[in-house]
Every structure is written in C-alpha cells, then in structure tokens.
Structure 1
Amino acid sequence: MKIIKLSAIESTNSFLKNLEKQSTQKNFTTVIANIQTKGRGQLNTSWHSEPFKNLTFSTLIKINALKVTRKFYLNFAVSLAVFEVLSEYKIPKLKIKWPNDILSGNRKICGILIENTISKDRIVYSVIGIGLNVNQEHFENAVMATSMIHHLKKETDLEKLFMSILKKIKKYVTYMENKKWEELKQLYLRNLYKINTATAFLDKHQHLFMGIIRNVNSNGKLVIELENASLKEFDIKEVIFAKV
C-alpha cells in the first residue's frame, strides 16, 4: 500500500484526485497530512482540524466494474470501517448518521467525504476523505463536536489508529468485491442514527416535519415514513435533521 505523508496541504482529497489525473495510482494509495487548511465535508461544508491532533487523510478506491447504481455501498463500507475501529477503542454510544458521519452520542466525531469519478455507468475510482477527531480537546466553532480524548481521557497513537482504519476499509471493500450487498447494507442499518425513531426533519424548503427513518435504499436515499404512514425517499440535499 502506497502511503504519502505530508506536513501540510489544502485538501488531501484534492491532492489525491490530482495525483490520479497525472498518473494512474495503485488501489488504496493514501495521502495523510498533519495540517489540512481547506478540508471539506458533505455539501461543501468546511472541516476544521487542529494540527497534529487528529487524522485527516484520503484513500483511493478502485473496485472493478462498480456500477453507479451501487455507489452508495461505498458509503456503507467506509462508515462501517470507521465505526468498527472506534468500537474497538470503546468509544461510547456510536451511531452512523446518514449519509456517513460518525456520532458518539449526539456529537460528531468523524466526517467522511466520498468523491466519485464516473465514466458512463461505471465508477472509475473513488477518493475517500476521512477527518477523525482524536486528540483535540477544544472545538471553538463546532459546539456539537467531540473527540476520542474526551471519552478515553488520554491521547491515542495516531499512526496505529490510522493503520487500523485502513485495514478495516480494505475489509469492507472486500464485501463489495464479493458482492455481499445485502449484508453490507444490513450492518449499516443496524447502526444507523435515529432509525425507527420519531424524528424532526427539515426538507429542502425548510419545512419542518416529523417522520421515522425506515430504510436507506441502494441509491443512498433516506426512506422516511411520514405522519400519514406513507413512505418518501429523500436525497442528500433534500432533507436534514432538524435542531429542536
């Protein structure tokens, strides 16, 4: 596995995508940085990380002939990889918040950004960006953030943690290569935040509504049971959890 270690970079995802465009990289090529100045999250949000305290890295994933219709299974796989490692570290009350944030209690401990390069109906490659709060204790502009040190009361070895996550990513990508689609999905749903629980949401028009998460379909859409008992599918930009 090729690992590129950098002192500082604007974005590990952008760096790795540019690297792949310049010359073909091996599967699981990974870029990790001590300082990331322009980290990105879902929906163009920014990801701020204290230098030398956390994990900020990106991994290149190539799955032979992966159809675009299966792209969300990569969200399942990577979320489960991080979830499993944090479980082994005994981080409490872990849940996967759709589409792929990792929470401890109601606080975000890890963000995942997946960017796919597509040709026709196939995914040529994916760049997986992971930002995990590890040894950072204070979050000035992120009230709902937490970190491993908050729970473990001691610092965690970043290198060991990093290698553990890469190993788990390989494990769950193997599920995809072996076409264990349903098994992967059920593991994800088993650990999904607020599933089968009455929850407040905001739709894309900022309308507040109550619903119950019942499923995430193979396209990655959140399936919510509405108050009239009908089921409605929502894409990533169409619904958010309401802060009530």
Structure 2
Amino acid sequence: MGKQFISLPSCHSTNDLMAQMSAKNQLYEGAIIITKHQTKGKGQRGNQWNSPDGENLTFSIFLKPQFLKAAQQFELNRMVSLALLDVVKSLSDEVKVFVKWPNDLIVNKKKVAGILIENSINQNGISESIVGIGLNVNQMENILPTATSLAQQFDKNFNLDKILLDIVQRLEHYYLILRSGDFRFIHQLYESNLYLKDKVAFYEDASGKFNGIIRKVYPDGVLEIEDESGIIKKFHFKEVRLLS
C-alpha cells in the first residue's frame, strides 16, 4: 500500500476524488490520496467531517478485495478499525482504546477517528473499495464535546507522516490476514476490543429509547443488543444510536 501516493494541499473529499480517478482507471490497488484540508469530508449518516489545515489525517485508500463476497463487506470495517486501534494503543498503555460499531475509534470514551468505506459490488462480490479515514491527531481546539484528538489525550503533538506510515503498515497486516481467509482471528480480535460489549448502555432505535447490552457483532456486521427485558434486537447500519 502507498506505492501510488497523491498528496494535495486541499481537496473537497478524498473519497470522492478517489472514486472519480477509479472511474478513469487511474488507480492501482493500495493507492493513497491524502489532503491537509478537506472541504467536504464525509462521515456516516451524511455527517460532514471537518478538519483544520494540517492538524489531522484525512485520507483514502483504494483496495480491490475481490476475494470478499458482498455479504462480507464488514470485514473491511473490522480490518480498518483494528489497524487504527493498534496504532493508537502503541502510543501508550495508559489510555483506554476501543473500536465502536460500526465505524469509529474511541479513546477514553470520546471519538478520535471515523471510517467511511464505499464499496462497489458486482455479481461476484466486492470489485473495489474506497476506504476513507479521518483521525484527529494534533487538533486542540474546536473539537466537539463527544470527540477528542491524540494531542488532547497525550498532551503532545505527533508527526503526521509517522502516524500515517504506522496505519498503512497495520492495514497491510490485516489485509493479508483477510486475504488468507482467517476471518475468525479478525472477528475475535474485533469483539475483544469492542466498545461497551457486555456493558449496559442507553440506546435509541426506531421504537424509542432503551437500556441494552451489546452481545456480539455477526460476521455480516449486524449488531446484537439484548434489552433490559432480555429481548434480543439486531441492527444494521444506522438503525440504532448510542445515547450514553
């Protein structure tokens, strides 16, 4: 990964630009597009990912995971989440780092990174994937109350190039594991680092608010929550929201 590396001072969205270049067959697998300033960065639920100039990492990686079926799309979410988890955990043993279903990384109960994966599907499975990653690194001000940055957590600035290199290396590591077909290892590692697993929390779904406990994430990415009455609920993306 990273042999084709495109760095831009400003960009509307690295995911969108990567999609445009892919449509023109201008990308090799492992290509990276990174920008210091993203004007229309995208997140889940249609949210916008805003990042001050040169303080954070906002980039996209182009993959061709044609060994995955359409029903296995969530393997990519697991892979990217674990890569980010490894990098942040390597910075200190003192912070509590978790992956949050489906697309976030949590440090000390606050969001430090978000993932947006856009897959192209054909009759054989996944033809290509654009993996967008936003990691708050050196930003100290104007951060949402529910978010944080590495600089806030560790009280120091980080070398963005070094953090990026570390992420790419861990992504390669997990991508090779996925390619080998060892999904069970990835699943176990993801579950063991899952935020609020087996703990009571407050959620909201289409029926209203409820207390529940995350029990598992199915191979296809469906989240299982047991409510306070012992009823098992299953959720796809965007069907449930953590309140507290």
**Fold-level match, TM-score > 0.5?**
yes
Q: Give the superposition deviation at 1:143.
A: 1.4
Per-residue CA deviation, residues 143-179 of structure 1 (Å, 9 max, x unaligned), is 1111111122221000111111011111111111011
The structure 1 segments of at least 4 consecutive aligned residues displaced by more than 6 Å after TM superposition are: none
Is 2:192 the partner of 1:190? yes
Size of the aligned set, in residue pairs, is: 241
Is 1:211–2:217 an aligned residue pair? no
Instruction: Give structure 2 stretches of 5+ with no counterpart.
Output: none
Aligned to 1:110: 113
Which residue of the partner structure matches residue 128 of structure 2?
A: 125
Residue-by-residue CA offset, 1:22-52 (whole Å, 9 max, x unaligned): 1152111010001000001111111111111
CA distance change for structure 1 residues 237 and 151 in 2, over 3 Å: closer, same or farther? closer
Match of 1:222 in 2: 223
C-alpha distance after superposition, 1:112-158 (max 9, x if no partner): 11110111240001100011011110125x11111111122221000
Residue 150 (1) aligns with residue 163 (2): no
CA RMSD of aligned residues (A): 1.2
Residue by residue over 1:61-107, the C-alpha shift from the partner in whole angstroms, topping out at 9 and shown as x without a partner, is: 11233101111011000000000001111171111111020011111
Contact 1:204 1:237 in 2 (8 A): no
Identity rate of aligned residues, in percent?
A: 35
Q: Does structure 1 retain, via aligned residues, the 8 Å contact 2:66–2:125? A: no
CA distance, structure 2, for counterparts of residue 30 and residue 204 of structure 1: 38
TM-score normalised according to structure 2 size:
0.95
Q: Secondary structure at the match of 1:36?
A: coil
2:37 is paired with a residue of what secondary structure? Answer: strand
Q: Any idea what SS the aligned residue of 2:86 has?
A: helix
In the superposition, the TM-score normalised over structure 1's length comes to 0.95
Q: Which residue of 1 aligns with 2:236?
A: 235
Matched with 1:101 is 104
CA distance in 2, matches of 1:149, 1:22: 38
